[in-house]
């Protein structure tokens, strides 16, 4: 998904996540997940090792971006995304993308391990009589 597609998804999520009357104060985990969502949204627009991002790489990054947005929405359903994705935060992520990416990788390790375990269990279940 390109940046415009994520902008539309982000707007839709903001409408869903934004709370009615009381604004939720963001936690450090909210900021962290928002930054990681931004990293994996912005990263496909950059080059990887001087080469354009492949469709497979883009699809993987889209999935991981969705994971972080889902974590944020599940933890803080009434959070206004504008409080954790301000222009200053977006510029900071853009300006420090390699460091931001490294800090987000740890969050994806647990996800990848869980997905691998789930895939193995599914394969075993489908082989069983």
CA–CA dist 13, 68 (Å, integer)? 12
Model confidence at 122: pLDDT above 60: yes
At residue 114 the predicted structure's pLDDT band, cuts being 50, 70 and 90, is: confident
Model confidence at 105: pLDDT above 70: yes
CA–CA dist 84, 77 (Å, integer)? 13
Highest mean pLDDT among 10-19, 57-66, 79-88: 79-88
Model confidence at 17: pLDDT above 60: no
pLDDT digits (tens, 9 = 90+) for 24-69: 899 999 999 999 999 999 887 766 566 788 888 888 889 899 999 9
CA–CA dist 84, 74 (Å, integer)? 15
Which two three-digit tokens encode residue 12? 């839709």
Place of tokens 């803080």: 76
Helix or strand or coil: residue 27?
coil
Find the mean pLDDT for residues 77-84.
92
Which two three-digit tokens encode residue 116? 């691998």
The pTM of the whole model exceeds 0.75: no
Q: What is the pLDDT of residue 106?
A: 79
């Amino acid at each position: 998904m390109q940046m415009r597609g994520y902008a539309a998804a982000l707007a839709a999520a903001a409408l869903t996540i934004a709370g009615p009357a009381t604004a939720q104060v963001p936690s450090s985990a909210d900021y962290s997940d928002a930054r990681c969502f931004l990293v994996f949204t912005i990263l496909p627009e950059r080059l990887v090792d001087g080469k354009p991002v492949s469709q497979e790489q883009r699809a993987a990054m889209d999935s991981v971006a969705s994971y972080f947005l889902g974590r944020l929405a599940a933890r803080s359903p009434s959070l206004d995304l504008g409080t954790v994705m301000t222009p200053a935060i977006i510029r900071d992520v853009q300006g420090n993308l390699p460091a931001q990416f490294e800090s987000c990788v740890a969050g994806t390790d647990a996800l990848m391990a869980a997905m691998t375990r789930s895939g193995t269990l599914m394969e075993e279940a489908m082989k069983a009589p």
